[in-house]
Amino acid sequence: MISDIDRQNFIKAWQRILSADRVLLVSHINPDVDALSSLGVFIEIFKRMGKEFLALAEKKTDDYYFLPGFENIISSKEELLKVVKSKYNKGQELDKDWLNFFDIVVTLDCGSLDRTFLVEDIKNIKDLMLDTQVIEIDHHVKVGSYADIEIKIQLSSNTELLYYFLKENKIEIDRNVANCILAGMLTDTGNFLYSSVSDKTLKIASEMMSLGAQFPKLLQNTWRNKNFWEMKLWGMALANLKVNKKYNIAFSVLTYDNLRFFKESTNALGSDVFGDIVGFISSLSDAKTFLLLREEERGKIKGSLRVGSGENVEKIDVAYLASFLGGGGHKKAAGFMVNGSIIKDKDLYIIK
């Protein structure tokens, strides 16, 4: 599963990181537990080493405050630029080449350049011929290249990938790092339910527990943490569930008005609530593919696709399907976003 080239890249990437004075760590917009935990792994190691770094995850919410390194993650590019300006540019305005303040940018769990929220800035590295190096560490299907060192391996979670990275470089896994690795694996596999779980995944999970990772605490904070309104939203998604026998697909739809009701009732919907719902729906045995469509923002429809279990499901590739709609992800779990509105007309949903 891990090739010799991957191993060489692990070593090369770590050598570059070691020789860097300043590192910028970046994970994806609307970060989930795997994204935040991937940052957490490096943050904890860098703190131990006394290495200078900044970390960004655009639109980070407070849901996962219990993760190690969480307080070191900046939650918007705007805020990041302010810190860079005051720390490294004597309070002067920044130019387009501001990434030059970092020797290395490490992107984690991002899937594609878009998801880093630093598209133009990273493109500027080449255009302006900056010295900054980009290292990409990701477990999604490849959609394009932008990094000097690209480490892309399809594993259960990005933190499972980081486990192999740490082992190859003989970097100590302490209790905090173990918690990060287990948290990412746990959540990206729907509590070890998805087919992306291998015997290795479980072995690593067990090793993380023996290194001090707190499985019950992580489960409590990532899964057994639903509030009343989230439960109601699950109820609505389940009530709207339909099965299309012809295409073997089960789907649920949440319209803008459905969701507005929840947004007005509470501001405490967990950031991963939709991922959790579609993960649950995918355990239905009457279909092989699953889709949750919702209009969270007016005029923008998000879709999450999952593959269920059963015969011949290994032939289904939802990342391929999502790519036609400008999205991506994994063979078994993918997503997309399209412009449009969902209109309910009696029993039919129409997209306009």
* Binding site residues, Mn ion, CB under 5 A: 34, 109, 158, 188
**Which of the 8 DSSP states describes residue 115?**
G
Measured CA to CA, the distance from residue 285 to residue 227 in angstroms comes to 27
Q: Which residue has the tokens 């690795």?
A: 181
CB of 34 to Mn ion, least distance (A): 3
**Which two tokens mark 57?**
């995850």
Q: Which CB atom, from 45 or from 137, has the smaller least distance to Mn ion?
A: 137
CB of 139 to Mn ion, least distance (A): 6
Q: Which CB atom, from 20 or from 197, has the smaller least distance to Mn ion?
A: 197
CB of 159 to Mn ion, least distance (A): 8
User: How large is the angle between the packed helices 215-222 and 175-188, nearest 10 degrees?
Assistant: 50
Asked whether the beta carbons of 106 and 17 are under 8 A apart, the reply is yes
Q: Which CB atom, from 108 or from 254, has the smaller least distance to Mn ion?
A: 108
Q: Which CB atom, from 58 or from 109, has the smaller least distance to Mn ion?
A: 109
Q: Which CB atom, from 33 or from 254, has the smaller least distance to Mn ion?
A: 33
CB of 107 to Mn ion, least distance (A): 12
Rounded to 5 degrees, what are φ and ψ at 326? 80, 10
Q: Which residue is nearest to Mn ion (CB)?
A: 34
Sorted by sequence, the CB contacts under 8 Å of residue 344 that are 6+ apart come out as: 253, 255, 350
Q: Which CB atom, from 20 or from 162, has the smaller least distance to Mn ion?
A: 162
Q: What is the three-class DSSP state of 335?
A: strand
Sign of the alpha-carbon dihedral angle for 123, 124, 128, 131 = negative
**Which of the 8 DSSP states describes residue 3?**
-
Q: Which CB atom, from 287 or from 328, has the smaller least distance to Mn ion?
A: 328
Measured CA to CA, the distance from residue 267 to residue 180 in angstroms comes to 26
CB of 92 to Mn ion, least distance (A): 37
CB of 187 to Mn ion, least distance (A): 8
Measured CA to CA, the distance from residue 68 to residue 41 in angstroms comes to 8
For the chain, how many residues are written? 352
CB of 244 to Mn ion, least distance (A): 29
